[in-house]
Every structure is written in C-alpha cells, then in structure tokens.
Structure 1
Amino acid sequence: MDTSSIVPAASVRPMPPEELALQSLTKQLYKSRLFRGYYVERCFVEEVGGYRDVVVLQRSERDLEKMLQNSAAQLQMFYRRLVPNMWVGITSGSYGSYTHTVHPGQLETCIWTELSDLAFGEYWFSIKTLRFRDQEVQLKIKMVRAVEEVTLATPRRSTSLNRSSPIKAITAGGEPETIPESAEQIQLGMADFLAVLQQWGDGIKQTVYDFMANDVNKRNIVGTIRFLGLLIFSAVGGAAVALRFLGVFAVRFLFELSRFTHTATPIVFKLLEFLNKIVGAIFILLTMIWKDLVNRGQPVSKQPQIEPSSRFKRITYERSEPQHRSPRW
C-alpha cells in the first residue's frame, strides 16, 4: 500500500485519524482492481490547473461504476468541511471542457487520471492506488494491455437450384405467374449451423474472459485462499477433537464394562446354579411320576425274608489270665 501520500509532512496540514482511516480504506477497496475502459481525451481541469486524461468505463463495468460513484459522493461529503475546494477525479457525463458522447459500448462514468504515452482506444486497466493531494483525489491506473477487436464471422447461406418443377407466384392481377426454373431457393445447410456454433463459442469466450478480468483479482483470490485455509483448519481441528472424545469415551466405557463384569459374574453364576437346581428337580419329579405311572398296573414282587441260619454259631470271647498276657502288656 502506498502510504506516502497519506503521511502528513511538516509543511502539509495535519490530518485527523478519521481522514487517514478513510484514505487507507479507500485504497484497499480499489487496489489491484482490473477494469475495461476507453481512453478518449485529454482535457484541462480548472480546479487543479492542469491536464488530465479521461478514461470512460466500458458498459460491462457497472459494478465498478456504482462503487466509484458511492466513493466519490462519500469523499466529497467528507472533505466538504476540511478542504472545500477538494476535487475528486470521478465524474459522470460531460464535465468542464469534456463533452461526453453517447456510445453503445460506454458508460457515463469517467475517471480523470494521468497516463503517459498512450494512444486513444480501448484498454484493460489496473488500479494501483489512490493519490490524495492537497486539492485533488486521483486514481492512479496502469494500462495492462489493449483490447483486440473481435470480428464476428458472417453466416453463409447455401443455395440450391430446384429445376424439377417451376415455382408459381400470384401477380397483382390475381393470375399465377410462373417463375423460371433457374430461380434460387435459400436453404439452411451445415455451414450455417457451424457459423452459429462459432458465434456462440465466441460469445462464451468473451463472457468468460470478462468474468475472469472483472471478478478474478488479487483480493478475491486471497479471500478464497483464506476461507479454504480456515475451513480446512476447522475441519482438522474438529476431527482431532472428535477422535479425542471417542478415545476417552471408549476407555471409560471399557473400564465401566470391566467393573460391571467383575461385579456381576458371581451373581450370574448363582442364578445359573439356582436355575440348574430348579430344572434338575423338575426332571427328577417328572421321572418319578413317569415311573409311578408305568409300575401302577404291575403286581408288587415280595422280597424273601432272611431266615436265621444255623450255620452261624455264637462266638464267645474268654478273658485271658494276667499271667498269659503278652510281655508288651
């Protein structure tokens, strides 16, 4: 940013902070802005006492025209109390010695600037900065390149002769008049279709070129890159936080699950044992019921009683005498 014109010198009037802020904001708004315009004339400006070059905006620069008109009105309103004779080099229509002529490809907004060694014609310009002088606000622009004139191809028509039958026309008297067989009939052919496609292609190319020249500038590219960078940074940060949350949640879940398993295992075993006993008792009961039902109609067999046998005799033990005891006793 060119700040040499806004820094007050010792011999220049002191500038308040709001004026410095306004100048800086206006410079940032128009810096490196591309536009298309016509360099039409060089006129004398009485307010500044010198000659200025007049650049008229091309008809496609309506957005830039609105911005320039708004900025010119704001600057004139601001400098009305500080510098009453401040002249802003942005006008509309005829001004002073310049007479604006209506042109189908031009707007009414004119930029008064200083160009060096440039022929009249249509060019692509780039706004470098704004110059804030003692009694003048001037846009410093630079010529980028000249605009080449696009010549549109005229459509060609294919003619064919129809000699098989004569063509009849109605005359003023009401009687049909026979046209000679050599009359030409105009018909559309492949060449006309190709010519229309070529015109469409040229129009699309011009539209894309105007879009790239007007909207694709340094400011928009920097803003897009900044937005994409912030978006990627936010996505990466969000993914990291989400992974951290999932990790903490998984660890806590496994810890609580292990505690629950350790505490509930004895209870589950006791429940299984209780259910096992209940099921076993039910099956035993069913077995006994089934056995009783099967043996209900059969006679009960009596077991033979054990009779005392005479083969077994009573055994009596006699107490031994003391003298016959073993030496151990």
Structure 2
Amino acid sequence: MDTSELIVPMAAARPMPPEELAMQSLTKQLYKSRLFRGHYLERCLVEQVGGYRDVVVLQRSERELEKLLHNSAGQLRMFYQRFVPNMWVGVTSGSYGSYKHTSDPGQLETCIWTELSDLAFGEYWFSIKTIRFRDQEVQLKLKMVRAVEPEPLVPPRRSLSLNRSSHNNSKAITSGDGLSPSDKVADQVQLGLNDFLAVLQQWGDGVKQTVYDFMANDVNKRNIMGTIRFLGLLIFSALGGAAMALRFLGVFAVRFLFELSRFTHTATPIVFKVLEFLNKIVGAIFILLTMIWKDLLNRGQPVPKQQQLEANTRFKSITYERSEPHRRSQRW
C-alpha cells in the first residue's frame, strides 16, 4: 500500500461528511482492478496542484472507459463544488495547460493525469489500483501490467497466376511463394498459443492485483474484529437455534407418543371387534362354499344302501320317539 494514501488523510484537517465517504467508496469500487490500454506520452506541470503529473492517453478501443471517466469526473466536480471549489480531477480531454495534444489515429482525446515511477514512454496495459482523494486533487493510481509490443506490418498477399501449361514455371512460382502450407499452419498454432499465454498471464496478474488490493485495503484491524464478531454471533445463534430445535422436537415426540398411546388404548377393542366380524364373515363364506361344493359332488353319485338304511332308521326312531307319548296318553 502506498504510504501517501495514509499520510494525506491523516494530515487533512477538513472533516469528511458521510456522503463524501460513501461517494469515495463507490467511486473506488467502480474502477477497482480495471484494465485498459493507453499511451504514456510525457510529464507535464499542473499548476493547480503545484507539481508534475504523467499523462496517459487512452487507446482508440477504450471508448467505454472514456465515457465512464468523463461521467465520473463531471459528477466529482459537481460534488466538490460545495466542499472544495478548486478540486482538480485528473481526467481531461485534449490539450490542457502545458500539454499539447496531437491527434493520432490510434489514440483518443481523453488523458489521465497520474504519477508513474521509472516507466519509459510507450504503449502499455494499465490497471487502475485505486483512486486517491487528496486535499485539492482526485488522482487515479495506475499500475503497469505489461508493455504492448508493436504489431508487425503484414504485407498484402500477391495473387500468383500459375501457368498450367508449363510444369517448370509452376514449380518456380511455387518455390518463390514462401512457406509451405504445413509451415503456415504451424505459425498459426504458435501465434494462437502465444495469445493464449498472454491472456493467461494477464489473468494471473489481475488475480494477483485483486488479492493485493484486498489485502492492502480490506484486511485491517476493524474488518478483522468485525468478522470475528460476526462469526461469534453466527455460531452463538446457530447453537441457540439448535438447542431450541432439539427442545421443540423432544416436546413434540413426548406429546406424540402420549397421544398415540391413548389412541391405541381406545382403538384396540374396536379393531378386535372389526377383525372378529370380518373373521366370521370370511368363515361363513368358506363354509357356504364348502357346502355348495359338497352338494355338487354328491348330486351325481348314487346314495349307498347302508346310508339309506341309516337314514330310515333315524327317521323311524324320530317317529317313534315322537309318537310314544301319544300312545301312553291313549293307554291311560
């Protein structure tokens, strides 16, 4: 972390209202770890801040960042008109002061005024680390990610007219064309691999920058104590909730078992009566089926003589027993 960010707020005598602190925090989060491509042109004197600042011009493809920078710069100027009327925002368009902007097809008009250390003039990939809010200056703190190598100019391909009638001429033209198709494919594969490695390196640098910004800006005593306090309250709440849940489950289980025992005691006789009733119905049905089946079996078979004699004897005995009291009454 840059020590100037710590020293300047401590030395500032002006108290910051809550809306200013909120505005600064939102602005920092808006530009945090933002990558862009720019040209480091020169170092110029800024009379409003009384010092030299490095001028970084946005590359032609950074139109979205240009629009965002101008919107934020206008809002910051309007906001600080009440607190610091002479606040200088390090974002300008075109020529400013001792800096004379020259029109270039690969550059935009937007310039970022910052402080760079030990960096040669040229085109680079930059990362916005944070935004410094000083007494009379708003400055974007940049970090150089990597230099942009100049792209080689590719000559236009010439159309080769092959004479099919002459095999020797076609050989000469083919040999003078340059690389073979296999070499061209190998060059394309190597170029794609280099681009992939460059993107991977850029992604790694972005991750490192994010981790560094997090450790530098967010890891402090206040945040650590707040995190510990939050975790303690969370654990205490979880333990209290678990105890209440166990208590509720225990009371529910005891009441459920009590009501279940009462229901079982009351419903047992009813269940037994229903089972007995069903048993009688099923038994009667089986007995009826057995009698019907036996009657069907005995209907087509002749009755044995011994059974007929027994049936007659039973009939006579029953007749005799019924008629005997009548005979005794006649005798008397």
TM-score by length of 1: 0.59
Give the unaligned 5+ runs of structure 2: 215-230, 318-332
Larger radius of gyration: 1
Task: For 1:24 and 1:205, locate their aligned partners in 2 and report how far apart those are by CA, in whole Å.
Answer: 34
Deviations 1:220-256 (A, max 9, x none): 996xxxxxxx9xx9xxx8xx99xx79x9599599847
Name the structure 1 match of 2:191.
199
**Letter aligned with residue 195 of structure 1:** D
CA RMSD in angstroms, aligned pairs only: 4.9
Q: How many residue pairs end up in the alignment?
A: 269
Aligned to 1:171: none
| Equivalent position amino acid for 1:190 in 2 | S
Contact 1:48 1:136 in 2 (8 A): yes
Aligned mates of 2:137, 2:99 — CA distance in 1: 18
Paired amino acid for 1:278? I
Aligned counterpart, 1:122: 123
1:77 aligns with 78
Please name the residue that 1:272 is paired with: 275
Higher strand share: 1
2:138 matched to which residue of 1?
137
CA deviation profile, 1:257-286 (whole Å, cap 9, x unmatched): 676555444333322222222333444456
SS of corresponding position for 2:8: coil
Match of 2:42 in 1: 41
* Structure 2 residue 312 is the aligned partner of structure 1 residue 301: yes
Normalising to structure 2: TM-score of the pair?
Answer: 0.58
CA distance in 2, matches of 1:75, 1:164: 71
Change beyond 3 A, Cα 1:75–1:288: closer
User: What fraction of aligned residue pairs are identical, expressed as a percent?
Assistant: 58
8 A contact 1:123–1:147 mirrored in 2:
yes
More deviation, 66-75/196-205: 196-205
C-alpha displacement at 1:72, in angstroms?
A: 0.8
Q: CA deviation at 1:152?
A: 6.6
Q: Which residue number corresponds to residue 225 of structure 1?
A: none
* Cα distance change, pair 268–56 in 1 and its aligned pair in 2 (3 A): same
Structure 1 residue 54 displacement after superposition: 0.6
Shift of 1:189: 1.8
> Which residue does the alignment assign to 2:55?
54
Alignment deviations for residues 34-76 of structure 1 (CA, whole Å, 9 cap, x no partner): 5543321112233334332112234555554343222211111
More deviation in 60-69 or 264-273? 60-69
